[in-house]
Amino acid sequence: MPTDTEVVQTAADAAEGVIYAEYKQSRVKDVDVTVSFEDGILDLDIYLNPPDDPDADPERVTDDAVAAAHAAVDELFASE
């Protein structure tokens, strides 16, 4: 069984990975990925201030980041 810390880190890494796959890190004005995992419930909040002229739709990117975080956590539990 993964620890709460492992779950949080896995979710955060997956979400940030999606964001930085879409936008160069140096072009992102601000990003904040907040993750908590308590009593088996994953809570994820992403704030993204994208570049002025984003190549990808910021709403889609954040939706994809949330989905990737959940998938990564599901995979973490499946591998245990």
For 49-61, write each residue's pLDDT tens digit: 999 998 899 999 9
Does residue 80 have a pLDDT over 80? no
Spatial contact of 38 and 69, defined as CB atoms under 8 Å apart: no
Give the domain range for residue 55: 4-79
CATH number of the domain within which 18 lies: 3.30.300.100
Q: How confident is the model at residue 28 (pLDDT cuts 50, 70, 90)?
A: very high
Alpha carbon distance 46, 54 (integer Å): 17
**Distance from chain centroid for Cα 29:** 17
Q: Could you give the angle at the alpha carbon of 4 between the alpha carbons of 75 and 7, nearest 5°?
A: 30
For the entire predicted model, the pTM comes to: 0.92
The tally of domains found in the chain comes to: 1
Q: What's the pLDDT score for residue 54? A: 87
Which residues are paired to 74 by β-bridges?
none
Q: Where are the beta strands (DSSP E) in the chain?
A: 30-38, 41-49
